[in-house]
Amino acid sequence: MSVAGRTRLVHLSDLHFGATDPAMHAPLAAAVRDLSPDLIVVSGDLTQRARAVQFAQARVFLHSLGAPVLAVPGNHDMPLHRPLTRLLCPFRAWDRGWSPEREPAWQNDRVIVVGMNTADPFAWRRGVIRRGQLNRLGTRLASAGNRIKVVVMHHPLEHLPGEDQPLMRGASQALATLPGLGAQVVLSGHLHVSHIAPFATAPGLLSLQAGTALSHRRRSEANAFNVLDLVPGGITAQIWRADAKGHFGPAAPGQDFALG
């Protein structure tokens, strides 16, 4: 149930239909429905291998959760083993299986959420964010007024210590640019690790990185997702994680952040 003055987002990532843990489907669906979000945000990798049947599975699951869904592509949502298809029409399966919109937006009278497509057909795993995308984002955010401004992308703009994957191309430029465009919160995934904190190199900008919600390809944590409660001037962010019995619940108390 919506609460007056509050917008609730559930932030899922890296579902990887085609490589999910079937035991997690029902618990995740139950947890999301109980949270009654205003919007479900998926920061990429709906599928494991960008196949039509995997997109169909993702579509059925996400549309069963009882809330609008905003999703952006991840690198797994492009073909890996069909390089010619990936280079010539990298998002054909996404367009047909999910939506022809790759940088969608959603808003109410308090919040705007804008997606950015960082999947790069020329560097399948690494990702890229380009100047033209930042320009388009600036135009969209400029008309958002006093709404809280949330940006969604698959690849993180900053890595935690010890991460050995290369940072996506254009990340430093984006971090230097986003605060000036009015962005206040960035949601991402890709690494299957949960993290909530201001960016080290852009402390006025809040980073929420989500773990994998459904995949059996876990890293250092159980399946997880994020919950964001946004009110004028602030946000409460919380990681929800599966326990040993496979039930999702808060991993720790919510963290409160002021948004300038």
Q: In the Cβ-directed half-sphere of 256, how many Cα atoms lie within 13 Å?
A: 4
Cα gap 93→87, rounded to integer Å? 13
> In the chain, what are the domain boundaries?
7-258
H/E element holding 70?
A: strand 69-71
What kind of architecture, by CATH, is found in domain 7-258? 4-Layer Sandwich (3.60)
Report helix, strand or coil for 131: helix
- Tens digit of pLDDT at every position of the chain (260 positions): 457 789 999 999 999 999 999 999 999 999 999 999 999 999 999 999 999 999 999 999 999 999 999 999 999 999 987 777 877 888 999 999 999 999 999 999 999 999 999 999 998 799 999 999 999 999 999 999 999 999 999 999 999 888 888 999 999 999 999 999 999 999 999 999 999 999 999 999 999 999 999 999 898 899 999 999 999 999 999 999 999 999 999 999 999 999 97
Closest CA to 114 of 94, 95, 141: 141
